[in-house]
A and B are shown apart, each in its own frame.
Chain A
């Protein structure tokens, strides 16, 4: 790729059934570009978990995807309630998701741990009452 490609997605916060559309879109684009399947899977999982988190906790947000020849950089920004204890939130099984979300098969406290597991680098910046920004890199 000669130059970096950037895609921006607005994630709606009120429609849980549509969560995943942005991730699917990115997945298709990466496939068309001939990106390695393993890297596509990592991006799809990490981004989908982030997308779901935004819908469950933050009433939506924006996701920016920057694709360069050797890296995929994801920035997930929301203006939700923020994460009070990031260390706790990173623990597998810890969840603050409401019951209705759990009944749909989510909210098992796997979101952030999965994002960390499937990205090569992840940082979380969060201020309670202001919002959360998660950045992730998946190397190609």
Chain B
């Protein structure tokens, strides 16, 4: 599915649309950026509670398709501006990580 499909599903709040035609093929859950850096899959939807500027850097460097911030975590407005510049899709949800990942999995 594409980012647009995930936006249209209404499952999560779409904060930055990013490249809406980007494909989502896998789901990746991790909060340690060092591990995410080496393991995050290309075309993955990354579910995490680590919402800081470095999360965006890791997302950009690993070519993941979108970040889904779980547990009500959000980026600062400054970080969101950076996500817009880098064209990284960002979603937020009050759901826990597992439930958020499962919801995406059910759409794949």
A residues lining the B interface (CB < 8 Å): 16-21, 23-24, 27, 37, 41, 44-45, 48-49, 52, 104-111, 114, 117-118
Question: A110: which of B35, B54, B55 is its contact (CB, 8 Å)?
Answer: B35
B residues lining the A interface (CB < 8 Å): 31-38, 42, 50, 52-55, 57-58, 60-63, 86
Would you call A20 and B61 a contact (CB within 8 A)?
Answer: yes
CA distance A27 to B60 in the complex (A): 10
Neighbouring B residues of A104 by C-beta, 8 Å: 33, 50, 52, 54
Given A17-B53, A20-B54, are A106 and B61 neighbors across the interface (CB < 8 Å)? no
Neighbouring A residues of B37 by C-beta, 8 Å: 45, 48-49, 110, 114
Would you call B57 and A105 a contact (CB within 8 A)?
Answer: no
CA distance A49 to B58 in the complex (A): 10
Distance (Å) between the CB of B104 and the closest chain A CB? 21
Would you call B54 and A106 a contact (CB within 8 A)?
Answer: yes
Neighbouring A residues of B86 by C-beta, 8 Å: 24
- Determine the residue in chain A with the shortest Cβ distance to B34: A110
Distance (Å) between the CB of A38 and the closest chain B CB? 10
- Determine the residue in chain B with the shortest Cβ distance to A97: B34
Would you call B60 and A106 a contact (CB within 8 A)?
Answer: no
Neighbouring B residues of A48 by C-beta, 8 Å: 37, 57-58, 61
Distance (Å) between the CB of B31 and the closest chain A CB? 6
The 10 closest A-B pairs by CB, nearest first: A20-B57, A105-B33, A110-B34, A17-B53, A44-B61, A108-B34, A105-B50, A114-B38, A108-B32, A48-B61
Would you call B52 and A17 a contact (CB within 8 A)?
Answer: yes
- Determine the residue in chain A with the shortest Cβ distance to B82: A17
Q: Which of A17, A108, A109, A111 has the most CB of B within 10 A?
A: A17
Neighbouring B residues of A108 by C-beta, 8 Å: 32, 34-35
